Amino acid sequence: MVCSNQVLGKAKDKEQARKMLLMQSGNKVEILTAMIYQSQALYLEEFAKTTYYFDEYDSKDLNRYLNSNDWQGKAGACMVEGFCKPYIKKVIGYESTAKGLCIETLLPFLEF
């Protein structure tokens, strides 16, 4: 995840998570995912980016989220399918990228 030209990894503690989330509040966030898929018939490399534009986070919501510890293990402490969802103003790209795999790119190549 990138915000304000800084790469945000997984927060080590609640205070670091708070700082990361406050950086994202009212800002643009880019979530990046890389994929390599290989079968006998195909080799596919994909680098995907999805950009989120967030409204300002409500401080009470932010504190509830931080106290829930749901931010743990998430890049930038961001949870676009949870806490951050109501604050999303605009999305450019596929939301599956933010969840770790751009499935829209992969699906046309899979045989069912």
In this prediction the pTM is 0.84
What pLDDT sits at residue 53? 98
Q: Where are the chain's structural domains?
A: 2-102
What pLDDT sits at residue 96? 86
Question: In the CATH hierarchy, which fold is given to the domain comprising 2-102?
Answer: Maf protein (3.90.950)
66's CB contacts (< 8 A; 6+ apart) are 14, 17, 18, 21
What pLDDT sits at residue 112? 59
Residues of the chain with pLDDT under 70: 111-112
Beta bridge partners of 33: 48
pLDDT by residue (tens digit) across 19-31? 999 999 999 999 9
Q: Do 75 and 16 meet the contact criterion of CB atoms below 8 Å apart? A: no
> Which of 18, 19, 23, 22 lies closest to 3 in space, CA to CA?
23
